[in-house]
Amino acid sequence: MDSGNRRPSGRSPARITLHAVSLPGASTRLIDQESWVQTTPPLLRAPRELVNDLHRVHRPQPGTAVLGVLEQDGRMVAGASFSARVGYGDGWQYRNAILAHLRGIVPHDLRLARPVRTVVLMLCRRGSPEWTEADGAWMWALRDASGLHGLRCGAYVTLTDAGWQVLGDDRGGRHPHAGSWAEEAVPPVRSISALPAHATIQPLRVLEAAPEQARAAVH
C-alpha cells in the first residue's frame, strides 16, 4: 500500500557528515543515510503528486536522473533529466552534472539572504530501493550543487522496480516504478525552464520536446 501521506517523527538538526570512499576507478564523496536523515531536508508536501509529475513529464528509464525545482508553495517551476551514468559513481562528476543542468533551467539565488527555492532529485535505477553508496554520492552531489546555485537541498527519491521511495523519509509507493516509462509511447521532455519573473503566461517553458508533448506539458 502506498504511504505517500506518512510523515516521519521529529528529528533534531545535526551537522552533515561527508565521507570520502573509494569505488573502482573513482574517488567518491558521499553522505551516509543517517547523516542525511539528521539534516532533515525540507519535507515534500505531496510526494506522490510530485513523483507522478516528474515521471509524467520526463518518463525516466533506469539510468536516468531527474531534477525538480520547487517554489516555496511546492509548485514545480523547472526540471531536467539526464544520464545518471556520468562519472560512474564519482560524486564530483554528479555534482557538476546537476549544477550544469540547474544553470540551464533556473537563474541562481546566490544574492538572497536565504534560499527560497528547493531542488529535489529522483534517480531511476535497478536494484534495491534502499540506500546504496551510489545514492550517497548523489546525495552529496545534490547538496553541494544546491548550495553552489543558491538553492535549498531537498528530498532524494529512488525509482526502482519496487516503486518509488523518499530515502530517509519513510514515504513511498508502488507506482510509478522503474519500468513505468514503457507503459506509454510518449517521448520524454528533457528540460523545463522557469520563465522570467515578469512573464504573465504559463509558468513553465518546455525545451527539447516534441511539439505534441510540449503543448501537453504546459496545459
pLDDT value at residue 194 = 59
In which residue ranges of the chain is pLDDT below 50? 1-3, 5-27, 195-219
Residues 6+ apart with CB under 8 A from 80: 66, 67, 101, 102, 104, 105, 190, 191, 192
Residue 6 covered by a domain: no
Query: Does 8 fall in a domain?
Result: no
Q: 210 in a domain, yes or no?
A: yes
Cell readout for 206 is 518546455
Give residue 97's pLDDT: 95
Which pLDDT score is estimated for 95?
95
Residue 168 structural domain: 18-218
Give a yes or no: residue 5 inside a domain. Answer: no
- Is residue 198 a contact partner of residue 72, using CB atoms and an 8 Å limit? no
Q: Is residue 4, in this structure, part of any structural domain at all? A: no
pLDDT recorded at residue 192: 78
- Tell me phi and psi for residue 119, to 5 degrees: -105, 130
Within-domain flag for 3 = no
- Residue 93 located in a structural domain: yes
Count of structural domains, the chain: 1
pLDDT at 89: 75
Q: Is 160 a member of any domain? A: yes
